[in-house]
Amino acid sequence: MSVFKNVPGMMLLIFSSISLFAQEKNTIQFTNQSFNEALQAAAKSNKLVFVDCYTSWCAPCKWMEKFVFVNDTVHQYFNKQFINFKIDMEKGEGIALREKYKVTSFPTYLFLDAKGNQIHRTGSKMSVAEFLTEAKRANDPGSTLAAMEKKFNAGDRSLQLLTDYAIVLQRVNGGQFDKVRTELITRVKEEELNSPLGWTIIKTFAREEEDKLGSYFIAHQQSFKAFADEASIRTKLSQLASSTMYGLIRSKNDKAFFDKLTLILRDTSAVAQRNAVMLQVEYYLTNKNTEAFLATARTAQAGALRNNPDDLSFIARRAGYMSNGDTAVQKQCYEMARLAAMLEPEEYSNQATLAEACYVLGYKEEGLKAARKARQLADLETSKIQKLAQAIIDKIEKL
C-alpha cells in the first residue's frame, strides 16, 4: 500500500523533471567547456563558435536571454549551427577575452572560427529577426564583417557593400560606422534612391527631414509604395518628424510642432503612437502645461504605454525632475513608476524610480520597500549605482 501511496508524488517528480528539461532545451544551449575547449569542439564539428559576451549588471543582456534566446527559431538555429559559449567579461578567462577582442559594450556577440579568429561581430539589444539576420551573416562567407571589411579596405565602394557594411558597423563600431555612412550618403545619387536598395538606405540611415535622404523620401514618398508597405512608409515619416519636433520644442515653434504632431497621429502603428506620447509629454512639461501633461500621461498609461515599463519609468523620472514641486505632476509620476515596477519588478531603474517618487510624496513604507529592492538589484550593477541605491534608502528612512 505504501508504494501506491507514493505514486502521485513520484509522478509529480517525473513530470516536473520533464518540464524542467524542456524549459532548459527551449533556449540557446551554451557549453560548459572552457574557451579553448569550445574552439576544439568547433574544429571537430566544422562550426563557428558563437560567443555571448555579457556582464552580470547588463540589462540588455538579460533582456536578450529572456525574450530572444528562447524564441523557437532562434534557439533551433543556434543550437544546430554553432558551438555556443557565454562568458562574463569581468570574471575568469572573460577578462583576457575582453581585452583580446576589444569588447567595450554589452552585450557583444562574437562569431569565431576554430582558431579564434573573429569572422563576424554584432551586439546590443535587438529583435528576433535582427538577431537571426546577424547569425546568418556569420554563416555566409561573403556577408560577414570580416569579409566586408576586407572588400572595403581593397577599395570596393559599391552601394550594396557600403549599405551592408554600415548596417553591421552601427552595432559594433560607431567611429567606422559614421565614416561609412557619410561616404554612402555622399555617393548615392537621387535616381539610385528610387529602388529597393534605396529604400533600405533611407529606412536605415535617414535621420532628419532636412537631410539628403529624408528630404528625398518626403518629396517622393508615393513612389516608395513600389518597394515598401504603407505602414513602413508611415512609420519612417513619423520617425523623421519626431526628430524634427524636439528641435521645434526647444525653439518654441508651437504651430509647426502641432502641425507635425497631427501627421504622426494619423499613423496608427504602435511606434508612431508611442512617439506621439513622448513628444507631447516633453512639450507640455517644457511649457509647464500641467493639465495637458496629466491628460496625456493618464491616457498613455491606460493605452499606448500600458505594457511599456521602460517608457513609463522614463516619463516618471523626467516629469519628476521637471515638476517644480507640482503635487499633481508628482502623483502622476508615482502612478507611472508604480506601474512600471509592477510590469518589470526585477529592473533596477524601475524600483529606484518608484522609490524616488514615493520619497517626494512622503510614502515612507512603500518607498523603503522599493528602495530596498533597488539596492538588492544594484548588487548586479556598478559600485556607483550601489551607492546611489543606498542613498535612496538613507533619505527615505529619515522621513
333 part of the active site: no
SS3 letters for the chain? CHHHHCHHHHHHHHHHHHHHHHHHHCCCCCCCCCHHHHHHHHHHHCCEEEEEEECCCCHHHHHHHHHCCCCHHHHHHHHHHEEEEEEECCCCCHHHHHHHCCCCCCCEEEEECCCCCEEEEEECCCCHHHHHHHHHHHCCCCCCHHHHHHHHHCCCCCHHHHHHHHHHHCCCCHHHHHHHHHHHHHHCCHHHHCCHHHHHHHHHHCCCCCCHHHHHHHHCHHHHHHCCCHHHHHHHHHHHHHHHHHHHHHHCCHHHHHHHHHHHHCCCCHHHHHHHHHHHHHHHHHCCCHHHHHHHHHHHHHCCCCCCHHHHHHHHHHHHHCCCCCHHHHHHHHHHHHHHHHHCCCCHHHHHHHHHHHHHHCCHHHHHHHHHHHHHHHCCCCHHHHHHHHHHHHHHHCC
DSSP β-bridge partners for residue 385: none
Q: In percent, how much of the chain has pLDDT > 70?
A: 93
Q: Residues 216-219: contacts with CB within 8 Å, 24+ apart?
A: 216/190, 217/193
Query: Can you tell me the distance from the alpha carbon of 163 to that of 320, in angstroms, rounded to the nearest whole number?
Result: 41
pLDDT at 242 (0 to 100)? 85
What is the structure's pLDDT at 6?
A: 55
Which pLDDT band holds residue 379 (cuts at 50, 70, 90)? Answer: confident
Alpha-carbon distance of 277 to 306, in angstroms, equals 12
Model confidence at 316: pLDDT above 80: yes
Neighbours of 111 (CB within 10 A): 24
pLDDT number for residue 92: 94
* pLDDT of 249: 94
Q: Confidence band (pLDDT; 50, 70, 90) for 20?
A: very low
pLDDT value, residue 21: 44
pLDDT(13) > 90: no
**Rounded average pLDDT over 235-264:** 90
Residue 380: pLDDT band with limits 50, 70, 90 = low
Peptide bond into 107 cis (omega under 30): yes
What's the mean pLDDT in 289-314? 96
pLDDT tens by residue, 99-154 = 999 999 999 999 999 999 999 999 999 999 999 999 999 999 999 999 999 999 99
pLDDT higher for 23 or 264? 264
Let me know: does 109 contact 122? Beta carbons within 8 Å: yes
- Res 4: pLDDT: 46
Question: With 90 as the cut, is the pLDDT of residue 30 above it?
Answer: yes
pLDDT digits (tens, 9 = 90+) for 57-109: 787 898 899 899 999 999 999 999 999 999 999 999 999 999 999 999 999 99
Judge whether 53 counts as a catalytic residue.
no
Query: Averaged over 359-379, what is the pLDDT?
Result: 94
The residue ranges of every structural domain in the chain are: 25-139
Per CATH, the homologous superfamily of domain 25-139 is Glutaredoxin (3.40.30.10)
pLDDT above 90 covers what percent of the chain?
78
Kindly tell me if the per-residue pLDDT of 179 is higher than 70: yes
pLDDT at 3: 46
Lowest-confidence pick of 38-42, 234-238, 293-297, 336-340: 234-238
Mean pLDDT in residue range 386-393: 92
pLDDT of residue 241: 87
Structure confidence at residue 53 (pLDDT): 97
Q: What is the mean pLDDT of the chain?
A: 91
